[in-house]
C-alpha cells in the first residue's frame, strides 16, 4: 500500500455555478480513483499516494434532488423556478431535496477515505461534528436527530430546526458532494421544497439564530480548524 496521505488541499472557489462545480468534483474524484487503480498494478515502492481536497463554495440559487429523493418534494413548477432565478438538478448523492444559494457555505470534501478510515457512517458523523464545534463558538448548542443526517437545533423536539444538511456520494472510498451550512442564506427559498423530505421540522440559519449576519470568511476559517481537529 502507498503511504497514506492525510494532507488536504483547501480551495475556495467562491460563487460558482452548480453544474460547473459538480463537473469539477467529478474530475477530482475520478483522478483519485484512477490513481488507486494504477497503484494496484504497481509494486509497493512504485505506488503513489492519493490526493485529498476540501472545496468551499457558494452557489447561485439551485435545488438538488438526491438519487433516492421524491420529485414531489419540489413544490414549484419550472416556470416558477425561472421567476425566482433558480435551477434544479437530479444528482447522485444520498438524501432528498435541498437548496443551495448565496450566503450558504457549501463544503465538498473530495477525500480518499482509505487515507483516513473506511467507514462512511463515521465520515458523516465527523462532518456533523465539525459544524457542531463551529456552532459552539457562537454559544449555540446543536446536535443530531435520531435516524436523520445533518445538524439540528433543539433536535428531537417540536422546535427542531435544521441548520446543516449533508448528502454524500462515495466511489471506491473516494467521496464527493458534502454539506450545506446555512450561514446568511435567504431562507425564503426553502418554502418551495420539503427540505430533505422532512415534513415536521423547520430549517434555520446562523444569521436567524444570532439575529445578525456572520462573516463567511470567519466561518471558513473555523471549518478548516475543526476539520483538521476531527479528521
- The pLDDT tens digits of the residues spanning 136-162 come to 999 998 988 888 889 999 987 888 999
Query: Which pairing describes strands 142-145 and 202-203: parallel, antiparallel, or unpaired?
Result: unpaired
Between β-strands 62-65 and 97-100, what pairing exists: parallel, antiparallel or unpaired?
antiparallel
pTM of the model: 0.93
Asked if residue 133 is part of any domain, the answer here is yes
Q: Is the residue at 4 inside a domain?
A: no
64 within 8 A of 89, measured Cβ to Cβ: yes
pLDDT higher than 90, residue 66: no
What's the pLDDT tens digit per position in 113-133?
Answer: 999 999 999 999 999 999 999
Give dist(CA 130, CA 157) in Å, integer.
Answer: 22
Beta bridge partners of 168: 177
Which residue range is the domain that position 20 belongs to? Answer: 9-226
Q: How far is Cα 154 from Cα 141, in angstroms, rounded to an integer?
A: 8
Q: Active-site residue numbers? A: 196
| Across 157-179, average pLDDT | 94
Structural domain total, the chain: 1
Bridge partners, residue 19, by sequence: none
* pLDDT score of 147: 83
2 found inside a domain: no
pLDDT class for 193, splitting at 50, 70, 90? Answer: confident
In a domain, residue 231? The reply is no
H helices of 102-158, where? 120-136
What tens digit of pLDDT does each residue of 69-107 get?
Answer: 888 889 988 899 999 999 998 888 877 888 999 999 999
| CATH code for the domain in which residue 215 is found | 3.30.930.10
Residue 89 forms part of a structural domain: yes
pLDDT of residue 172: 96
**What does the angle CA 110 – CA 54 – CA 97 come to, to the nearest 5 degrees?**
70
Q: Is the dihedral of CA 16, 17, 22, 27 positive or negative?
A: negative
| Domain contains 23 | yes
CA dist., res. 194 & res. 176, Å (int): 23
How confident is the prediction for the chain on average, in pLDDT? 93
pLDDT at 165: 92
In a domain? residue 3: no
Cα–Cα distance, 152 to 156 (Å, whole number): 9
* 107 neighbors 176 (Cβ within 8 angstroms): no
**Domain presence at residue 67:** yes
Amino acid at each position: 500500500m502507498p503511504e497514506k496521505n492525510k494532507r488536504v488541499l483547501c480551495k475556495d472557489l467562491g460563487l460558482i455555478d452548480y453544474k460547473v462545480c459538480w463537473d469539477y468534483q467529478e474530475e477530482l474524484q475520478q483522478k483519485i480513483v484512477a490513481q488507486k487503480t494504477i497503484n494496484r498494478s504497481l509494486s509497493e515502492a512504485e505506488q503513489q499516494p492519493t490526493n485529498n481536497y476540501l472545496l468551499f463554495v457558494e452557489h447561485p440559487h439551485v435545488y438538488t434532488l438526491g438519487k433516492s429523493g421524491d420529485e414531489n418534494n419540489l413544490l414549484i413548477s419550472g416556470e416558477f423556478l425561472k421567476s425566482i432565478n433558480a435551477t434544479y438538478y437530479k444528482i447522485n448523492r444520498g438524501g432528498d431535496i435541498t437548496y443551495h444559494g448565496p450566503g450558504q457555505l457549501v463544503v465538498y470534501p473530495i477525500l480518499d477515505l482509505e487515507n483516513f478510515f473506511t467507514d462512511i457512517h463515521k465520515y458523516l458523523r465527523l462532518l456533523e461534528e465539525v459544524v457542531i464545534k463551529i456552532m459552539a463558538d457562537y454559544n449555540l448548542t446543536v446536535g443530531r436527530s435520531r435516524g436523520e443526517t445533518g445538524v439540528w437545533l433543539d433536535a428531537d423536539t417540536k422546535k427542531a430546526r435544521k441548520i446543516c444538511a449533508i448528502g454524500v456520494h462515495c466511489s471506491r472510498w473516494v467521496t464527493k458532494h458534502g454539506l450545506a451550512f446555512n450561514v446568511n442564506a435567504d431562507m425564503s427559498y426553502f418554502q418551495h421544497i420539503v427540505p430533505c423530505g422532512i415534513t415536521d421540522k423547520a430549517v434555520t440559519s446562523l444569521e436567524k439564530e444570532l439575529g445578525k449576519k456572520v462573516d463567511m470568511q470567519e466561518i471558513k476559517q473555523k471549518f478548516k480548524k475543526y476539520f483538521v481537529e476531527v479528521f
